Structure 1
Amino acid sequence: MIDTTRLPALALISVLLSTPVLAQSVNLYTTREPGLLNPVLEAFTKDTGVKVNAVFLKDGLQERIKAEGANSPADVMLVVDVGEINAAVDAGITQPIKSAIVDKVVPTQLRGADDNWVTLTKRARIVVVSKERVSQDAITYEDLADPKWKGKFCIRAGQHPYNNAFFAAYLARNGAEKTESYLKALKANTARKPGGGDRDVARDILSGQCDIALINTYYIGLMSVAKNEQKGWYDAIKPLKTTFAGGGTHVNVSAAAIAKNAPNKDNAVKLVEYMLSEKAQALYADGNFEFPVNQDVKDSAAVKLLGAVTPDTTPLGDVAKNRKAAADLVDKVGFDN
């Protein structure tokens, strides 16, 4: 695998364009941290003989591929947010993934329109509470608006992508009027100004500043194995079974798409299919306490720690389409003020 993380842009393109377009290579552009991907990519090469040329791009992945045009060496894109992967589709830089394995493994609501992208792993956004001060074990997202939580609710900024996706899902399910009312109720219940990170809400539960909060599940996993003060934050919280009323749990995803001008399309499909295999799902999901999309993987680290989640049936493509409107509502109610 080429280490491209420190190459300047022109040199990077030169390296990839000079890489022979062989049947036994595939070029991956990703915003995912290399340390999380490398075990899976190395296993793929070992098992298939296909070399992966991986390019890590913290920002500007779509812009890079568009600038490279028809000669782009990109075969596969892998990103960590439904809005980002949907934006790649809207930018016209993807193509449908035709695969019986994808059809079998990935539920329809966890794929893009016309199968232009597919989910690889899921992270759920759930409610955590104080172990000492809250006794219930389950909750709906709608219950967070209950006035009984006034002055007890903590959340990071409403415009953060994690919350933007959650509010967009709420909007897709309930419409603008109900979502605006919901945001006002959540704001009224906050114990402090929305902000900080997901792990900070666990810290604030420990300190007694709040009793209840929203958090992404993989942060719970990371805190559970921390060797510093964060282990104490984890010990202070209790994850609740969290769903929409009459629905499932809100999830965001890491997702893959095949580039429109992929020079190694067959190997691109092969890589995506491999990442959906039980072996790869265990390696990939456990690296960051995410939930496998392959339901045959029963004992992932996230499931062992938190139990299985049933994703809400709202198509993630609909969630992505509502993100701008959700952001506008957050601003309208002054959620982050």
Structure 2
Amino acid sequence: MNLAKIGLSALLIGSALILAGCSDSTTEHGAAQETQTINIYSARKEDLIRPILERFTEDTGIETRLLTADAGALLSRLENEGINTPADMLITVDAGNLNRAKEAGILAPLESEYLAEVIPAHLRDEDNYWYGLSKRARVIFVNPEMLDPAEIQTYEDLADPRFKGQICIRSSDNIYNQSLVASMIAEHGEEYTQKWAEGLVNNFARDPQGGDRDQIRAAAAGRCAIAVANTYYFGAMQNGSAEDRAVTEKLELVWPNQNDRGAHVNVSGAGLVSASNNAEAVRALIEYLATADAQQWYAQVNNEHPVNPNVAPSETLAGWGEFKADDLNLSQLGELNADAVRLMDRAGWR
């Protein structure tokens, strides 16, 4: 079965429905905008999303209008704009942010048989408020000149006193770390995770600072033996400047917890803005982004794994080897976010 054709067929049907209803439109968004233009608020950088949107327009005739900003800023803007927002669709990173949008009433459910078929259930909202579009893992990077990578094989190991003063990781206000802690709560419960977080904080090589690339660079420079970061940053550096490539060559990637639940994964994803009257066009676009061709391009450019299991990873990602991923339903990361934040604060993770 050709999944790309299924997706293209679905979006063309959706487009036809939209165009069929355009003549009498008097909505706030305006007839032309409702039927022919999708307004997108995106936390992905424009150069990482614009080309595939242009291909969508070429294939369907539906235009897109893109506004990009930080994930937190977009959520605040959508809350402030309320029912007057021009946005039809939200694209953002991390299931924690997607769940915040759901809980704030920013997103509306959007059902699609095609998306239910090609996106695994744990990578989409159980109530269809959002769908994962690309997948990344939060993993461990080790400087083998300072530590044998075989010494640290699980997230639980990060709290081992053997690694005191050896770990670089971002601050607790980072959503990626909050979701990692939420996944630990889902697996072990809050009491265990509290002790784990306290042990991890005791192992910090320095006060948390900078982004994921900064943790990777610090480990390569010998400021710490261990860094925790998302895989796509490492992939971007492998395909980046000569300086960044040299950094990645000094580190080894460790896929955590391969003998039990698997590595913690998260998604970038999209959903229908609840104030939009353009649901059919948004459904068509999200279905398009889940087709094999779009998934292959999207994952290649973003150095992320496709959510569509029928699409192979890029050459860069394939070079890291196969891995077992945690199949925790990502909706739980958002549901446990507040508990995770409070726990990190109690542990002294700043």
For normalisation by structure 1, the TM-score amounts to 0.87
Q: Secondary structure at the match of 1:74?
A: coil
CA positional deviation for 1:189: 2.0
Bigger mean CA offset, 326-335 vs 212-221: 326-335
Looking at structure 1, the residues matched to 237 and 81 of structure 2 have their Cα atoms a distance apart, in angstroms, of 40
| AA in 1 matched with 2:243 | E
1:34 counterpart residue number = 46
1:294 corresponds to 2:313: no
Q: Secondary structure at the match of 2:227?
A: strand
Looking at structure 1, the residues matched to 324 and 232 of structure 2 have their Cα atoms a distance apart, in angstroms, of 16
| AA in 1 matched with 2:126 | A
Q: Secondary structure at the match of 2:270?
A: strand
Looking at structure 2, the residues matched to 181 and 68 of structure 1 have their Cα atoms a distance apart, in angstroms, of 41
Q: 1:193 aligns with which of 191, 198, 207?
A: 207
1:43 corresponds to 2:55: yes
Looking at structure 2, the residues matched to 62 and 105 of structure 1 have their Cα atoms a distance apart, in angstroms, of 27
Looking at structure 1, the residues matched to 73 and 102 of structure 2 have their Cα atoms a distance apart, in angstroms, of 15
Q: Is the Cα–Cα contact under 8 Å of residues 39 and 283 in structure 1 kept in the other structure? A: no
1:160 counterpart residue number = 174
2:139 counterpart residue number = 126
CA positional deviation for 1:321: 1.6
Bigger mean CA offset, 84-93 vs 200-209: 200-209
Q: Secondary structure at the match of 1:119?
A: strand
1:111 counterpart residue number = 124
| AA in 2 matched with 1:250 | H
Aligned residues: 321
CA positional deviation for 1:210: 1.8
Looking at structure 2, the residues matched to 331 and 22 of structure 1 have their Cα atoms a distance apart, in angstroms, of 44
| AA in 1 matched with 2:171 | A
Looking at structure 2, the residues matched to 49 and 310 of structure 1 have their Cα atoms a distance apart, in angstroms, of 40
CA positional deviation for 1:101: 1.4
Q: Is the Cα–Cα contact under 8 Å of residues 158 and 330 in structure 1 kept in the other structure? A: yes
Seen in structure 2, the aligned counterparts of structure 1 residues 56 and 208 have a Cα distance that, compared at 3 Å, is closer
Q: 1:304 aligns with which of 302, 318, 332?
A: 318
Q: 2:336 aligns with which of 313, 319, 322?
A: 322
Q: Secondary structure at the match of 1:255?
A: strand
Q: Secondary structure at the match of 2:302?
A: coil
Q: Is the Cα–Cα contact under 8 Å of residues 110 and 128 in structure 2 kept in the other structure? A: yes
Superposed counterparts of 1:1-337, under 5 Å: 17=29, 20-21=32-33, 23-58=35-70, 60-70=73-83, 72-136=85-149, 139-243=153-257, 246-336=260-350
Looking at structure 1, the residues matched to 103 and 166 of structure 2 have their Cα atoms a distance apart, in angstroms, of 40
Q: Secondary structure at the match of 1:113?
A: coil
Cα displacement string for residues 107-137 of structure 1 (whole angstroms, at most 9, x for unaligned residues) = 2121113111110011110011113343445
2:22 counterpart residue number = none
CA positional deviation for 1:306: 2.2
Looking at structure 2, the residues matched to 198 and 261 of structure 1 have their Cα atoms a distance apart, in angstroms, of 34
Q: Percent identity at matched positions? A: 36
Cα displacement string for residues 228-269 of structure 1 (whole angstroms, at most 9, x for unaligned residues) = 432222111000122376212112211110122322211110
Bigger mean CA offset, 131-140 vs 110-119: 131-140
For normalisation by structure 2, the TM-score amounts to 0.84
Looking at structure 2, the residues matched to 45 and 335 of structure 1 have their Cα atoms a distance apart, in angstroms, of 45
User: Which blocks of at least 5 consecutive residues in structure 1 are unaligned?
Assistant: 1-15
Q: Secondary structure at the match of 1:92?
A: coil
Seen in structure 2, the aligned counterparts of structure 1 residues 21 and 208 have a Cα distance that, compared at 3 Å, is closer
RMSD: 2.2
Q: Secondary structure at the match of 1:243?
A: coil
Q: Secondary structure at the match of 2:127?
A: helix
User: Which blocks of at least 5 consecutive residues in structure 2 are unaligned?
Assistant: 1-27
Seen in structure 2, the aligned counterparts of structure 1 residues 147 and 78 have a Cα distance that, compared at 3 Å, is same
Seen in structure 2, the aligned counterparts of structure 1 residues 89 and 81 have a Cα distance that, compared at 3 Å, is same
